[in-house]
């Protein structure tokens, strides 16, 4: 299974192969969050990926910008003993545009995951405009970059996250630009029952239940979040029949039209072929959002 759309290239964000035989290595390398934003670089819309990682060596940050050659143009590694890299800037050229990247995570606070919670900023500047700004230190970012906000703000269109648990797997998601941030809990006990059941909860409310999971280990269903239809796809085959180190995959995707709602009948399409053309097509109909969760069991 490919981790992210092919338009970001094999040299974009590097992710460890989930088939590794070393459990510690896999669990460490897989602790990451990747976010995809659609930004305006000059007159052209581009995809920008921001990946936060966490392993035994410390925190890591990678930034990739879509180009004609689909290469990762900037990669910043943040390690506890290299304080010089916890803040800085870098200039690079993307086609005919000069891009400036500014970051400061020297005072960032982290939770159990790799993504900082507060005390940081990451800013991408093009033509004296901040086209992407992450973090809560926005005033410091604008002062450092000496740039103005972009007239066309970035759009958060996709997120991939690796989550861990034994029976409960937790994540957060905002399914529309100005919507509420929701708590997602996936509940599935495959160890202590011969007939496991899959339950998905949004803000403690059960919105989906799949019984006889050994017969329905792959499938999809539609739920409502903030009044919007959200298509949920699941593949828990590895949990039930695969290697103990296998991971389940869940995809939450906002439905952009009734036609898409009717045609989304196979799990293989969104999970195995989440292509750039599909996401560009969703953008032409409105601002959609996709959340892909890789759920790993802590034995």
pLDDT digits over 119-165, tens only? 999 999 988 899 999 999 999 999 999 998 887 778 899 999 999 99
pLDDT band at 282 (very low <50, low <70, confident <90, very high): very low
**245: Cα separation from own chain's centroid:** 21
For residues 67-78, average pLDDT: 64
Q: Which residues lie across from 44 on neighbouring strands? A: 41
Higher pLDDT, 232 or 283: 232
The pLDDT value given to residue 83: 52
| Rounded Cα–Cα distance for residues 296 and 120 (Å) | 28
Pick the residue with more confidence: 35 or 266? 35
The CA angle 160-112-163, to the nearest 5 degrees, is 35
Does 55 score more than 50 pLDDT?
yes
Phi, psi of 165, deg, nearest 5: 175, 180
Q: Is the dihedral of CA 66, 105, 180, 267 positive or negative?
A: positive
> What's this model's pTM, rounded to 2 decimal places?
0.78
Which residue is listed with tokens 């409960």? 168
The CA radius of gyration of the chain, in Å to the nearest whole number, is 19
Contact 83, 73 (CB under 8 A): no
- At residue 72, the pLDDT reads 59
- Other beta carbons within 10 Å of 256: 20
Given this model, what pLDDT does residue 6 score? 34
Contact 186, 195 (CB under 8 A): no
Whether 53 shows a pLDDT value over 50: the answer reads yes
pLDDT at 16 over 70: no
Task: Quote the CA–CA distance of 258 and 238 in Å, as a whole number.
Answer: 32
The CA distance from 34 to 48, in Å, is 10
Q: Which of 10-19, 142-151, 192-201, 265-274 has the lowest mean pLDDT?
A: 10-19
Q: Are 94 and 120 in contact (CB under 8 A)?
A: no
Range of 42-56, 126-140, 261-275, 283-297 with top mean pLDDT: 126-140
Query: How many whole angstroms separate alpha carbon 215 and alpha carbon 213?
Result: 5
Q: Average pLDDT in the 24-51 region?
A: 77
The per-residue pLDDT for 270 is 39
Average model confidence (pLDDT) for the chain? 76
The number of beta carbons lying within 10 Å of the beta carbon of residue 166 is: 12
């Amino acid at each position: 299974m490919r981790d992210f759309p092919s338009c970001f290239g094999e040299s974009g964000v590097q992710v460890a192969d989930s088939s590794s035989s070393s459990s510690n290595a896999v669990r460490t390398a897989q602790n990451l969050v990747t976010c995809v934003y659609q930004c305006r670089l000059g007159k052209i819309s581009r995809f920008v990926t921001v990946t936060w990682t966490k392993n035994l060596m410390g925190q890591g940050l990678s930034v990739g910008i879509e180009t004609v050659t689909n290469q990762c143009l900037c990669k910043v590694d943040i390690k506890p003993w290299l304080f010089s890299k916890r803040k800085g800037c870098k200039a690079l050229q993307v086609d005919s545009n000069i891009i400036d990247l500014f970051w400061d995570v020297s005072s960032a606070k982290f939770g159990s995951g790799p993504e900082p919670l507060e005390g940081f900023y990451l800013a991408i500047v093009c033509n004296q405009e901040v086209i992407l700004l992450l973090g809560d230190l926005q005033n410091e970012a604008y002062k450092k970059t000496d740039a103005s906000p972009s007239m066309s703000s970035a759009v958060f269109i996709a997120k991939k996250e690796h989550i861990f648990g034994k029976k409960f797997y937790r994540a957060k998601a905002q399914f529309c630009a100005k919507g509420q941030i929701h708590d997602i809990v996936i509940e599935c006990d495959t160890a202590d029952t011969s007939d496991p059941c899959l339950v998905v909860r949004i803000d403690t409310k059960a919105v989906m239940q799949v019984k006889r999971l050994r017969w329905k280990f792959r499938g999809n269903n539609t739920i409502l979040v903030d009044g919007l239809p959200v298509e949920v796809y699941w593949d828990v085959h590895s949990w039930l029949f695969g290697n103990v180190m296998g991971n389940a995959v869940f995809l939450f995707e906002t439905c952009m039209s009734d036609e898409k709602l009717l045609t989304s009948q196979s799990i293989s399409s969104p999970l195995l072929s989440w292509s750039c053309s599909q996401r560009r097509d969703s953008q032409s109909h409105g601002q959609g959002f996709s959340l892909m969760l890789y759920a790993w069991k802590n034995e």
